[in-house]
Chains A and B, each alone.
Chain A
Amino acid sequence: QVQLVQSGTEVKIPGASVKVSCKASGFIFSNHWMHWVRQAPGQGLEWMGIINPSGDTTSYAQRLQGRLTLTRDTSTNTVYMELRSLRSEDTATYYCARDESDQDSGGRQWWFFALWGRGTLVAVSS
């Protein structure tokens, strides 16, 4: 079964760190870049970052740089999102998503997430 299974709810105090996992199954994990997206309660989707198949290339949203680290373990088909120095504003549901991309005959590209994890709630509160 093609799926992304995320770890469970986390409750953290401000200043702590959190590490959320996303385990892939049913497809060739090493063929795909992976993204992380978060959504604060009642708010929109926010792109967080991307990691390449071998785990040696990442890119992070500017506002999260310095606090966010994405890693992946190819032996267990798992990608991880670690966010440090947590603040109340980091309270959100965190999603992993599988990257797919293509381009038209003119070279114009697109990227899409057809497969998402079900989300992990991270609550930050004192």
Chain B
Amino acid sequence: SELTQDPAVSVALGQTVRITCQGDSLRSYYATWYQQKPGQAPVLVIYGKNNRPSGIPDRFSGSSSEITASLTITGAQAEDEADYYCKSRDSSSFQWVFGGGTKLTVL
């Protein structure tokens, strides 16, 4: 199964942005969200229903409905400019899949 993300999204500094991820597997499993900056390994930002690892600012939040998972950044900062990937387990196999990624630009 596939996970579909918008390739690019922009947000004005301090505003709110929602990044979405769609796929049939999201009916069965929660999405996980990762942030990746150039030249760096991905960093976990949201997992489960809406859990943040320690060190991730509370402006990051997650939600899920039917086949759509969303990552919301409330009050985007310049340092949030990055690529964001969703990930979930495939609903019909013991495999995992990443979305294509969303490049977030903070204006």
- A interface with B by C-beta (< 8 Å): 35, 37, 44-47, 50, 59-62, 95, 102, 104, 108-114, 116-119
Contact = CB atoms under 8 A, between A and B. Distances in A.
Given A44-B85, A104-B48, A110 B53 contact: no
A102 B41 CA distance: 23
Nearest to B96: A47
Interface string B27-66: 0111110101000011110011100010000000000000
A51 B106 CA distance: 38
Nearest to A4: B41
A61 B41 contact: no
Contacts, number: 71
Contact of A113 (B30, B42, B97, B101): B42
Given A50-B96, A59-B95, A116 B42 contact: yes
A104 B49 contact: yes
Interface residues of B, number: 28
Interface string B63-107: 000000000000000000001010101000111111111000000
6 contacts: A44-B83, A44-B100, A44-B101, A45-B98, A110-B47, A112-B47
B41 A116 contact: yes
A47 B30 contact: no
B94 A59 contact: yes
Contacts of A46: 98
Given A45-B85, A109-B89, A112-B47, A35 B96 contact: yes
A46 B98 CA distance: 6
A109 B47 CA distance: 10
Contacts of A95: 41-42
A43 to B, nearest CB: 9
Nearest to A99: B96
Closest 8 CB pairs of A and B: A110-B30, A112-B47, A44-B101, A116-B41, A45-B98, A47-B96, A59-B94, A112-B32
A108 B30 CA distance: 7
Contacts of B87: 45, 47, 111, 113
